Amino acid sequence: MRVIAIDGPAGVGKSTIARRLAERLGWAYLDSGALYRALTHAALQSEVALDDGAALAALARDLELSLEPQGVVRVDGLDVSAALRTPAVARGVSSVAAVPAVRAVMVVHQRRFAEGKTGVVAEGRDMGTVVFPDAVIKLFLDADPEERARRRLDQGQEVGPDADMGRVRADLEARDAQDRGRAVAPLAQAADAERLDTTQMTPDEVFEAVWMRVRSVIRP
Ligand code: DC
C-alpha cells in the first residue's frame, strides 16, 4: 500500500487536488477531515458538549464511523455526507479535533481505511506527520488567508447567505490557529514534505505541479 499525504490549512484546495489525483491514479481518496466532521455532527445531534473531551472520546469509540472510497461518510450506517458542511459543524470541529483521545480513535480509522488498498491519497492536517509517516510523497499546500477565503467563498462551501469575505476569512484563520496550536498532531509541515505556495496558481496549475511530482516518484 502506497500513500500520498497532502496536508495544509483550511480552504487551500486540498480536497480538489487529492480527489483528482486519486481518480487519475485509480487510488482511494481519504478525506480525514470528514471523520472529524462526522464526529462533530454526531456530538451536536446527541447534545454532547463540544468542550467535554471525555464524552467526545467515548462517542468516538462507540460510533460506527465509515468512510467509503467515493467520499460517502456513514455514522452508524447512515449517510451523513451532506450534513458535514454546515456552519455549526465547521465552527465546532476544531475543538473536537483537539481532543487527544479522539485523535487516537481517528488514527485507527484512517489506517484501517488504507489497509489492503493499492494506493491512497490522504488529505488532512497530520497525514504526513502522524498518520502516514512512511508516505511515498508528502505535500504541504499553502496559500495566503485572503486567497483561501476567496476560494471558500467561490466554492459556496460552509457559508450561509450572509457570507462575506471578512467573516469567511476570520473563520478560516480562527480554525487554523486552533489547528496549529493544539498539543497533539497540530497542523504542521512534515520535515520531509514539499511545500507548495498556491496563492498565485489556478487549480489546474496546482494539479499539474503535483502531477509532475507524482510522476517523477511513482511512474504510474
Ligand atoms: O479538512 P476539513 O476542513 O474538512 O477539516 C475539518 C477540521 O478537522 C479541521 O479544522 C481540523 C480537523 N482535522 C484534523 O484535525 N486532522 C485532520 N487530519 C483532518 C482534519
Interval 111-129: pLDDT, tens = 999 999 999 999 999 999 9
The number of domains in the chain is 1
- Whether residue 217 lies inside any domain: the answer is no
20: containing domain: 2-208
Distance 220 CA to ligand 1 centre (A): 29
- Whether residue 152 lies inside any domain: the answer is yes
- Whether residue 219 lies inside any domain: the answer is no
What is the band of 77 on the pLDDT scale with cuts at 50, 70, 90? very high
Binding site membership of 97 for ligand 1 (Cβ less than 6 Å): yes
- Neighbouring CB atoms inside 10 A of 77's CB total 7
Domain CATH code at residue 71: 3.40.50.300
- Whether residue 75 lies inside any domain: the answer is yes
- Residue 94 CA: which ligand 1 atom is closest? 10
Q: What is the mean pLDDT of the chain?
A: 92
pLDDT in tens, 22-52: 999 999 999 999 999 999 999 999 999 999 9
- Whether residue 216 lies inside any domain: the answer is no
- Whether residue 131 lies inside any domain: the answer is yes
| Cα(38)–Cα(196) distance, integer angstroms | 29
What is the band of 171 on the pLDDT scale with cuts at 50, 70, 90? confident
- Whether residue 218 lies inside any domain: the answer is no
- Neighbouring CB atoms inside 10 A of 197's CB total 13
